[in-house]
Amino acid sequence: MHSTFRGGRPFFGAEAAPVSAVRTVEGSVMAAAAPTVERPPAGSRHLVEPDLLAFIDQAPPLSLTTETLPMLRQGFGTRLGLEEDPLAVEAVEVIRRTVPGRGGDPGVGVVLHLPRAPGAPRGAILHMHGGGYVTGNPDALIPAHRRLAATLGCVIASVDYRLAPETRFPGAVEDCYAVLAWLYASADALCIDRSLIGVMGESAGGGLAAALALLARDRGEFGLAFQHLVYPMIDDRTGTSGESNRFAGEFVWTARSNRFGWKCLLGAEPGGPGVSPYAAAARAEDLSGLPPAFINTGALDLFVDEDIAYAHRLVRSGVPTELHVYPGAYHGFHFVAEAGATRRAYADSHDALRRALSGNRPA
């Protein structure tokens, strides 16, 4: 496991020592004041990377409720504000398809990003968008995925999976599995090398990617070359107990929104017994036999502890795993394009994807 930690660690001071008695040279006793212990300020703002501060000043944490959800869905793409790159538009064609669902489920939408240049069969990324399992869509990410497909010379298939609470588990992950099956069946027509198909996602999409990797392993129908998880949402128990990381989850995605998202997906309060690992990958007891994993997250992200713990378990299960944790970064930081943490995260991510899509052959 390669773990990247940059910057200093917050100072956790011990309790101030009580006033103690010390003996002077003359033998008399005098009171000595306890040393002053410098404590960090309340909250985690002081830990945020400076070039990430403006975003959280302009965008308060999401307030997810049944009442606000329709508005958040409607403005999802507008909030991201991604712009097309003319060179990428010229290099990559975007096609929308609907593929058959599984077991009588409705058809599943997929947005295909296909490099126009002819060549040998290439690798493919099956992508799941983020949005707490309750919002988001693949269309909002077309500019980013078109650039990525042009940069890496790969196919990207982004799944328009059904959202909670209208569709609860296992609807979304079965939609993703249906697109995976279609991608394998259509590989020749799409000029895809079946041995170089992997899964990728951010936040809830990362959770779906991790769950899909488990489901594909257990069903044994399709092999995956890699799982690329960007601050994945993989553990419904986060934020449900009294033990929490006081420096994580203050910005963008909070424990309250997390509970809302998981409750919508599961149809029950998160953190209870019997949650399927195909809903929350961290619930899996056996992680052996999974494809190589790349995980990155911010040190201030609500998911930092669950992501590190998952990476640790993958390593102990014999799964090649690469982990990056970015100090000063909160959930969704990579949308602040000019931030140093974002540039480092994209460089690490693209490097890992290049290696994975080449079968980890030396460049």
Name residues whose C-beta falls within 8 Å of residue 126's C-beta, 6 or more positions apart in sequence.
157, 159, 176, 179, 180, 183, 197, 198, 199, 200, 209, 212
SS3 167: coil
Amino acid type, 61: P
Supply the DSSP string of 278-341, one letter for each residue: TTSGGG-S--TTPPPEEEEEETTSTTHHHHHHHHHHHHHTT--EEEEEETT--TTGGGSTTSHH
Q: In the chain, which ranges are continuous DSSP H helix?
A: 53-58, 69-74, 76-80, 86-91, 142-152, 171-185, 204-219, 255-266, 304-316, 340-357
d(CA 338, CA 319): 33
Max Cα–Cα distance, the chain, nearest Å: 94
Q: State the catalytic residues.
A: 203, 301, 331
- What is the crossing angle of helices 142-152 and 340-357, to 10°? 50
